[in-house]
Amino acid sequence: MPEVRTLSYWLDTAPPFTGGAAGPVAGMADVAVVGAGFTGLSAALALAKRGASVAVLEAGRVAGEASGRNGGQCNNGLAHDFASLAAKLGRERVTAYYRAYCAAVDTVERLARDEGIDCDFRRCGRIKLAAKPEHYPKLAKAYEVLADGVDPHVRLVPPDRLGEEIGSAAFHGGLLQETSAQLHVGRFGVGLAEAAARRGVRVHEGAAVTGLSRVAGGWRVATGKGELVARQVLVATGGASPGKPFGWYRRRIVSVGSFIIATEPLDQGTLDRLLPARRNYVTSKNIGNYFRVAPDNRLIFGGRARFAVSDPRSDQKSGRILEQALAGIFPALRGVRVDYCWGGMVDLTADRLPRAGEHDGIFYAMGYSGHGVQMSAHMGEVMADVLDGKPQANPWGDLDWPGVPGHLGKPWFLPMVGAYYRLQDILH
């Protein structure tokens, strides 16, 4: 039996990045971008198109962390119940947030088209599945709110029509957002990097940033491969980033592991029975699952599984839990071969809204809270506007960002958080 691969399926099946900068990190740049995920690469590409000299500094490989280790879903809509968030922040404001996510999906589609990135982008729609009978009325209420002037592309799927969407007896209706999309995130990430390199961006892999210090006219940025001086700096990496320069962000972000398995390729008949519409699927539990079909007919199946950080041992434990969940939803797939099992870190803010702006002279965008595929690429372009003197372009610029009480960078409280959400799933 083939050994289960622990590298992300998306990264394992992406082409190699050929446009990396040769030689050490040196010289000067208008902008230094820390992180070669979707945010950093999108920002670098947009800035280079405006004539800026840009250097991207990546600790590992292009799109090697959250951007290349997710479920490959590019969904519109918030991580929140719209009505509940609107009651706190106001309907007009939350409608603008919701539409920012819709615009973000458009951004991904446009980037893939304009840069000729072969990443299997497809508008497939995303359906949220009621995991309990009592969850369906909540989805119906959410539908009424969204259909009333927020999103004309939502549709309620009642329990007696759910068989048209999914071949599983585990669910009790669903809410469909028709403009959501899916893509091969590994190929998209490499494609963004190649496009940036063609525009003259210096993309340095294996160049972890170890220091940021003010100098005349900007910042000295030190890395393990040398240093450069930049007029502006954009931090486009997650809260788990090591090193003193990123301590302020680590205290404001909780990084939680999310885990994914990919099955062997499934035959067309099986997929037609189980997933006839080939959509993005998410379940309504707090500790639920998300899944979709990959371009080569594998089922990509993920979830929080365990409230833990991602490391090889944790990924394996979580993979076994995911296999059990997969068999529970699709009994016909019990015992199917799993070819990939991997994990990645999701950067959560306390309120699960992204954060972007400027702190102490350094610009940043991060904290996408599990909805980063689309918003990260979008915020890269937005931050290019912000660096260009247009702060009003940032939809999240009016949010304050206090530190998480008691959080100094290591999420010691994750087991308690996981226990709380498991209890909520039992009770509600």
pLDDT in tens, 62-118: 999 999 999 999 999 998 899 999 999 999 999 999 999 999 999 999 999 999 999
Query: Which helix (H) or strand (E) element contains residue 418?
Result: helix 414-427
Residue 173 amino acid letter: G
Q: What is the pTM of this model?
A: 0.94
Rg (CA), the chain: 21
What local confidence, expressed as pLDDT, does residue 423 receive?
Answer: 55
Tokens at 177, concatenated: 């957002």
Q: pLDDT tens across 278-313, in order? A: 999 999 986 789 999 999 999 999 986 455 555 666
79 and 369 Cβ atoms separated by less than 8 Å: yes
At 179, list the tokens.
């403009």
CA terminus-to-terminus distance, the chain = 41
Determine which helix (DSSP H) or strand (DSSP E) holds 355, and give its type and residue range: strand 355-359
Kindly give the residue spans of alpha helices, DSSP state H, lying in 296-341.
Answer: 312-329
Beta bridge partners of 293: 299
Question: Is the distance from CB of 395 to CB of 402 less than 8 angstroms?
Answer: no
* d(C-alpha 305, C-alpha 317), whole Å: 9
299-to-124, 128, 285, 343 alpha-carbon distances in Å: 15, 17, 20, 16
User: Is 349 exposed, middle or buried (CB count within 10 Å of its CB: 0-12, 13-18, 19+)?
Assistant: buried
Give the per-residue pLDDT at 213: 96
CA–CA separation, 24 vs 67, rounded Å?
Answer: 25
List the chain pLDDT tens, one digit each, 428 residues: 578 999 999 999 999 999 999 999 999 999 999 999 999 999 999 999 999 999 999 999 999 999 999 999 999 999 889 999 999 999 999 999 999 999 999 999 999 999 999 999 999 999 999 999 999 999 999 999 999 999 999 999 999 999 999 999 999 999 999 999 999 999 999 999 999 999 999 999 999 999 999 999 899 999 999 999 999 999 999 765 666 789 899 889 988 888 999 999 999 999 999 999 999 999 998 678 999 999 999 999 998 645 555 566 666 788 899 999 999 999 999 999 999 999 888 898 999 999 999 999 999 999 999 899 999 999 999 999 999 999 999 999 999 999 988 887 666 655 555 554 565 666 55
Strands 181-182, 73-74: parallel, antiparallel or unpaired by DSSP? antiparallel
For 21, 48, 196, 363, the CA distances from 26, given in Å and listed in that order, are 11, 18, 18, 21
> Do β-strands 355-359 and 338-348 pair in parallel, antiparallel, or remain unpaired?
unpaired
**27 half-sphere exposure, CB direction, 13 A CA radius:** 11
Tokens representing 65 are 């962390």
Round to whole Å and give the CA distance between 29 and 226: 14
For domain 9-417, which CATH number applies: 3.30.390.30, 3.50.50.60, 3.30.465.10, 1.25.40.10? 3.50.50.60
Centre a 10 Å sphere on the Cβ of residue 409 and count the other Cβ atoms it contains: 18
Give whole-number Cα distances, 195 to 91, 188, 397, in Å: 38, 10, 28
Q: Which pLDDT score, from 0 to 100, does residue 152 have? A: 96
Q: Are 72 and 184 in contact (CB under 8 A)?
A: yes
pLDDT of residue 417: 58
Query: Do 241 and 253 meet the contact criterion of CB atoms below 8 Å apart?
Result: no
The residues with which 300 forms a beta bridge, in sequence order, are 262, 292
d(CA 57, CA 205) in angstroms, rounded, equals: 7
